[in-house]
Structure 1
């Protein structure tokens, strides 16, 4: 009986809250811009401060990511004031750039040079891509983890 009680207490005491801010480690993690420059994630967010940001974590080799692109493009056509930031888990910069061109992905593009082995990926706990997040005008994470670009939580967050 004591073991069951300990397990229940452990389960319910775990912090399952969705974060509203990025960790310092995630903010300090570096990406590669389309132009080949290293940039900290906090500087990517700073560029778009005061705007709603949809983050799309994707890769050109990911079938679900490619299938989801029409939904992303529909969002972009309906919500033109939103900034769309694409973070790539491609296996190399050339594959990433070819994918952007091939699938005509419009937005701000950054490559994750360490893939899922980095502080940003640890913070967001990437278990599936595509992965969408929404950051509001106050720089708060309001949608942390959805895998469909037409998810109601995502759409409601960008309408606000």
Structure 2
């Protein structure tokens, strides 16, 4: 029975992964989210700079563990041609806003706001998830390294930062 379950799980995973097409280079639609004051923010507003997107939630332990590293990277690259965008997938906007305040997060703090086309496009089924866009809004890496990983700095250097 255990083998049947394992094989079934492997088969399902194979079919899911084989139907996945990476959105690299795809910019047919850049997405609109809400900021802390409820204003709509379009990722197109950041064209001209690399955009490093952090998809997270207030209840996600691994997401919260990346915050100190993300803050360090943001500080290190603050005068560079890159913008950092954090997109919360919290269902509760109050929980999101509370965590932003508690962790003293700054910069581009956005909420998914039922914009599920974003999570569908990138097939985000677990978080944290990091995405890197080029200066024209094209996807460079749809599963970019975490801020705590040294390979992030290498990726940024490879892309002119």
Change (3 A) 1:139 1:55: same
Tell me how large the CA RMSD over aligned residues is. 2.7
Q: TM-score, normalised by structure 2?
A: 0.75
Runs of 4 or more, structure 1, over 4 Å off, are: 13-18
Say whether the 8 Å CA contact 1:135–1:143 is kept in structure 2: yes
Say whether the 8 Å CA contact 1:22–1:123 is kept in structure 2: no
Distance (Å, rounded) in 2 between the aligned partners of 1:139 and 1:113: 21
| 1:22 and 2:27 are equivalent in the alignment | yes
Change (3 A) 1:76 1:51: same
Distance (Å, rounded) in 2 between the aligned partners of 1:14 and 1:153: 28
Distance (Å, rounded) in 1 between the aligned partners of 2:67 and 2:148: 11
Q: Deviations over 1:8-53 (max 9, x none)?
A: xxx8x866555222343xx3x54222111244xxx2x222111111
- What is the match of residue 137 of structure 1? 135
| 1:109 and 2:109 are equivalent in the alignment | yes
- What is the match of residue 64 of structure 1? 62
Change (3 A) 1:17 1:132: closer
Q: How many residues in Structure 1 have an aligned counterpart in Structure 2?
A: 143
Say whether the 8 Å CA contact 1:143–1:153 is kept in structure 2: no
| Aligned ranges 1:1-160 → 2 under 5 Å | 16-17=21-22, 19-24=24-29, 27=30, 30-39=32-41, 43=42, 45-80=43-78, 81=80, 82-114=82-114, 118-146=116-144, 148-159=146-157, 160=160
Which runs of 5 or more structure 2 residues have no equivalent in the other structure?
Answer: 1-14
Change (3 A) 1:139 1:153: farther
Which runs of 5 or more structure 1 residues have no equivalent in the other structure?
Answer: 1-10
